Amino acid sequence: MLCEECQKRPATLHFTKIINGEKTEIHLCEQCAQEKGNFIFMNQSPSLTINNLLAGLFNVNPSFEQKQQETIQHKDLIQCTECGMTFSRFLKVGKFGCPNCYPTFHDQLTPILKRLHGGNWKHSGKIPKRAGGSLFIKKKIDILKETLQTLIEKEEFEKAAEVRDEIRMYERQLQEGDV
């Protein structure tokens, strides 16, 4: 059987496509199949990992191809000053070059993060002591304030006074920039 595309080489790959219950059979040679690009060859792309899929996920609907082209050109103007990563390169590789890429591509990244993380784009977990700096102290104060409120409600004033002093200590640290 000859390849349906080129009619020259023998068809070595056979596909069955079912759309709305309608079955179509396609017979292609390896080269044409690859050119058509409709199919993923698991054996030829063993590294089909989440990172490879990212590029697809990031890209906009292909029917807006022209618009997308413009956006990419615009996005390409922004480049990370630390590592030279451009946004379109990031879309291809699915990974950033350095920590500075995050603030560099902040605006473009938010919609992507939302898609990857169930609508979330802002961190709400652990804060490192050093890198988190004042943020760590602020979070600590918030937690202590909640504790203070509970202690007051329970009329445990002695403990509440201790917590109040602790809050004051942290607030002083914040003011003095000693974090």
Partner 1 sequence: MSIEKFLSQSISNWMNGEGPHSDIVLTSRIRLARNLKDFMFPTLFSQEESKRVLNYVEGMIPLLVEYPLKKVELLKMDQLNELQKRVLVEKHLISPNLAKDAFNGACLLSENENISIMINEEDHIRIQVLLSGLQLERALEIANTVDDQIEQHVDYAYNEVRGYLTSCPTNVGTGLRASVMMHLPGLVMTQQMSQLIPSINQLGLVVRGIYGEGSEALGNIFQISNQITLGKSEQDILFDLNGVVEQIISQEWAARESIRKTSEVQLEDKVFRSLGVLTNSRIIESKEAAQCLSDVRMGIDMGYIQNISKTILNELMILTQPGFLQQYAGGPLRPFERDVRRAKLIRERLILEKNK
What secondary structure does DSSP assign to 49-110, as a single string? -HHHHHHHHHSPPGGGHHHHHHHHHHHHT-B-TTT--BHHHHHHHSS-SSTTHHHHTHHHHH
With CB under 8 A as the contact rule, the residue among 40, 83, 143, 161 that binds partner 1 is 83
Using the minimum distance from each CB to partner 1, give the nearer residue, 72 or 116: 116
Chain positions 133 to 162 lying near partner 1, rule: CB under 8 A, are 135
Using the minimum distance from each CB to partner 1, give the nearer residue, 1 or 131: 131
23 scored as a contact of partner 1 (CB under 8 A):
no
Phi/psi-derived region of residue 178, left when phi > 0, alpha when psi is between -120 and 50, beta in every other case: beta
Q: Which stretch binds partner 1 (CB under 8 A): 33-41, 126-134, 145-153, 156-164?
A: 126-134
How many residues lie near partner 1 (CB under 8 A)?
A: 41
Chain positions 95 to 114 lying near partner 1, rule: CB under 8 A, are 95-99, 102-103, 106, 109, 112-113
Q: Is the dihedral of CA 53, 58, 64, 69 positive or negative?
A: negative
Strand, coil or helix: what is 117? coil
Which amino acid, 18? I
Instruction: Give residues in contact with partner 1 (CB under 8 A).
Output: 46-51, 54, 82-83, 85, 93-99, 102-103, 106, 109, 112-113, 116-132, 135
